[in-house]
Amino acid sequence: MAKGHEMIPVTDPSGKTSSSSAMSRKGAYAAASYMACAVLLVMFNKAALSSYHFPCANVITLFQMVCSCLLLYAMRFWDIISFSAGETQSVSYNPATMVPHKTLLHTIPLAVSYLLYMLASMESIRGVNVPMYTTLRRTTVAFTMVVEYFLTRQRYSHPVVGSVGIIILGAFIAGARDLSFDSYGYTIVFMSNICTAVYLASIARIGKSSGLNSFGLMWCNGIICGPILLLWTSISGDLERTLKFPNLFSPGFQAVMALSCIMAFLINYCVFWNTMLNSALTQTVCGNLKDLFTIGLGWLMFGGLPFDLLNVVGQSLGFLGSCLYAYCKLQGR
């Protein structure tokens, strides 16, 4: 990707710089892009796992990773994109890794957290209905705040903490009448929340110190995690079960898989973009804001919780808390 022109701050009549305004707009674009991709990705993954009863969630993750690496390699090879902010299009690079080996080693903790995040997130979708999945996932904000504190000593203002508290309260109220309690499914979702928090905090910490942009971080994640996941799916027999899957060559299933891979590529980019431009907690709260659309589509397409007053109150509280958080960030709190 060709580098854009360097932004020169310009003071407006109120004394504020236009660069900070542009930065706010970029942050808003990043957040909106993530939310749109996230809604679609959950729908396509749920369709593959539930509607077509595909038995191997890890293979879907592997397909997404392979497609992402192929796209990144092709775009970098043809100088459409670069992997670091200060990289020129004519820079020489190692055709095997495309990034310095030292940088690749530096991103290993991020890649490991990414692999755990992907596997846990994919498995958590299978055993829980979409409305309850999004409800439980809202508690990720609490995990993110804790992980950010231990990794970066990040502290948040009282209004931000209060908005997060409202989000969590809404999640518990919304899920109070879930009669399809599944201890395994719930445990996997909470494990997914922890992995998500660690992954996002790792992006904020390692991503900014690595010198790589979003494409570069995605590339390192893919070439480190891809071989590990391929070995795992081979040993576990998932690849063999995939070859025997009756709907493997069904046009509908292949279309769902293709769209899932495209959305996975886009959402990975948006996660890096949003987290590095805003923060790990902002990225998590964006996931809560998009839940309103995910829940609506989930009810229509896959079924789920009965629509009752208690659930509406809980979902509304979660949405209110997310909006309050967004307001606090806009006010610089």
Q: Average the pLDDT over 48-75 and give the result.
A: 89
Report the SS3 class of residue 58.
helix
Of 17-31, 159-173, 201-215, 255-269, which range is least confident?
17-31
Residue 123 vs residues 52, 61, 263: alpha-carbon distances, Å: 15, 10, 17
Pick the residue with more confidence: 296 or 25?
Answer: 25
* Predicted local distance difference test score (pLDDT) of residue 228: 92
- Please list the alpha-helical segments (H only) found in 237-279: 238-243, 251-277
* Predicted local distance difference test score (pLDDT) of residue 130: 61
Assign 14 a pLDDT band (cuts: 50, 70, 90): very low
Q: How far apart are CA 220 and CA 60, in angstroms?
A: 19
Percent of the chain with pLDDT over 70: 74
The pLDDT of residue 258 is above 90: yes
Of 139-143, 177-181, 250-254, which range is least confident?
177-181
Residue range 281-295, pLDDT digits in tens: 777 777 666 766 666
